[in-house]
């Protein structure tokens, strides 16, 4: 058995199609077929059912588990050798949602590249639940996650007490609350109760999105149901929707510290309250501390930790003050 054949076997599992896999790997179909035949000869038993379509046999499933372990160990050993030889070459397998890596990576990659110009990155954009599964399976090195699980060997460090804010423009408030607008704003300056905004249309996140669940709980505690304008799986449109006065939206410390300047000037940013306390959607840095970490990966983790220390000191709260005589 050779590692190259194991690698091609694992790649074939991704879509269970010889033609497509060979094309993706820039191999001839015959070459890929020879590698699979070599593995089946070594195992002495078929790894795939060929008809009616390509599927794994029980032996194939067992080999897949073995291949995952062997190929991960091979990668760790290569990184050890790279460090020993002082050749800072390798790949960081990093996972985060778009809204998080789109903010964090531009801030840390220049320093990483200056010190380790031959290190590349494999980036996975997914939910925290899926990212943690990939981390547990050894397919990722480090992730940004909203989950804080007590798993043996897993280091889960709080990066950011990611406070949730309500974004609502003066235009929208005046449309629904008229003369009460300034009273509501002053009352919400240090914390917004959703019952004070119950008439407004909202952009809402869909559970089981974790922040969506938090917001649902906030509305239930306020004793009102949101008037849903848009229901979505993410907050990428939050700033645009609030700036155009289409609906009230939500955001958190992390994106607001980058996008606050892009908001319309009359968009208020109120800290959201739940049972009279600020609401958080905390962010964690997770990786397995008992796995081998190349120097460049340790440096990347250090850069992320330092970046978020600076983010946490910022407060994006804002209450718009209309100019005298301007309605």
**CATH code for the domain in which residue 174 is found:** 3.40.190.10
Same domain for 120 and 33 = no
Same domain for 297 and 205 = no
Same domain for 259 and 171 = yes
Taking the C-alpha atoms of residue 29 and residue 27, their distance in angstroms, rounded to an integer, is 6
Overall pTM surpassing 0.75 (yes/no) = no
Same domain for 172 and 144 = no
* 142 is a domain residue: yes
pLDDT reported for residue 323: 58
Report whether 140 contacts 95 (CB < 8 A). Answer: yes
Spans of the chain below 50 pLDDT: 325-327
Same domain for 289 and 230 = no
Sign of CA dihedral 37, 40, 45, 46: negative
Q: Which domain holds residue 207?
A: 164-278
The residues near 317 (Cβ < 8 Å, ≥ 6 apart) are 165, 269, 270, 271
pLDDT reported for residue 222: 93
Taking the C-alpha atoms of residue 209 and residue 213, their distance in angstroms, rounded to an integer, is 6
Same domain for 208 and 172 = yes
Domain count, the chain: 3
Same domain for 273 and 289 = no
Same domain for 169 and 268 = yes
Domain end, chosen from 31, 48, 72, is at 72
The residues near 134 (Cβ < 8 Å, ≥ 6 apart) are 95, 124, 126, 140, 143
| Number of Cβ within a 10 Å radius of residue 277 | 10
Identify the burial level of 174 via C-beta atoms within 10 angstroms of its C-beta, where 0-12 means exposed, 13-18 middle and 19 or more buried.
middle
**Residue whose entry in the numeric block shows the structure tokens 């229901």:** 231
pLDDT reported for residue 327: 45
Same domain for 139 and 171 = no
Same domain for 176 and 271 = yes
Taking the C-alpha atoms of residue 269 and residue 96, their distance in angstroms, rounded to an integer, is 25
**DSSP reduced 3-state for 231:** strand
Beta strand segments in the chain, E = 48-49, 55-56, 90-96, 119-125, 142-145, 154-160, 164-169, 201-205, 227-232, 249-252, 267-271, 273-274, 277-278, 283-288
- DSSP for 89-134 reads -EEEEEEE-HHHHHHHHHHHHHHHHHH-TTEEEEEEE--HHHHHHH
* pLDDT over 70 percentage in the chain: 95
**CATH code for the domain in which residue 36 is found:** 1.10.10.10
**Selection from 228, 200, 210 nearest residue 282 by Cα:** 210
pLDDT reported for residue 78: 80
pLDDT reported for residue 326: 42
Identify the burial level of 83 via C-beta atoms within 10 angstroms of its C-beta, where 0-12 means exposed, 13-18 middle and 19 or more buried.
middle
């Amino acid at each position: 058995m050779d590692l190259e054949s194991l690698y091609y076997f694992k790649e074939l599992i991704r879509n269970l199609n010889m033609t497509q896999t060979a094309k993706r790997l820039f191999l001839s179909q015959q070459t890929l077929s020879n590698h699979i035949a070599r593995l089946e000869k070594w195992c002495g038993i078929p790894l795939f059912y060929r008809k009616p379509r390509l599927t794994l046999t029980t032996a194939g499933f067992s080999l897949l588990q073995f291949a995952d372990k062997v190929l991960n160990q091979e990668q760790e050993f290569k990184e050890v050798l790279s460090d020993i030889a002082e050749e800072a070459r390798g790949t960081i397998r990093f996972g985060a949602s778009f809204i998080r890596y789109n903010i964090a990576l531009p801030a840390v990659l220049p320093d990483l590249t200056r010190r380790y110009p031959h290190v590349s990155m494999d980036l996975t954009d997914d939910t925290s639940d899926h990212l943690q599964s990939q981390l547990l399976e050894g397919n990722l090195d480090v992730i940004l996650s909203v989950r804080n699980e007590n798993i043996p060997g897993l280091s889960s460090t709080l990066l950011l007490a990611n406070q949730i804010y309500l974004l609502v423009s003066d235009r929208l408030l005046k449309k629904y609350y008229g003369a009460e607008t300034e009273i509501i704003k002053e009352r919400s300056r240090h914390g917004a109760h959703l019952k004070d905004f119950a008439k407004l249309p909202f952009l809402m996140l869909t559970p089981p999105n974790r922040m969506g669940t938090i917001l649902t709980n906030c509305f239930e505690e306020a004793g009102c149901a949101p008037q849903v304008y848009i229901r979505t799986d993410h907050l990428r449109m939050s700033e645009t929707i609030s700036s155009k006065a289409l609906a009230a939206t939500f955001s958190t410390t992390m994106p607001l510290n980058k996008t606050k300047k892009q908001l319309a000037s009359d968009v208020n940013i109120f800290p959201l309250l739940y049972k009279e306390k600020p609401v958080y959607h905390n962010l964690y840095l997770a990786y397995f501390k008992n796995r081998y970490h190349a120097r460049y990966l340790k440096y990347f983790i250090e850069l992320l930790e330092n970046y978020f220390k600076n983010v946490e000191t910022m407060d994006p709260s804002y209450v718009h003050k209309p100019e005298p005589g301007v309605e």
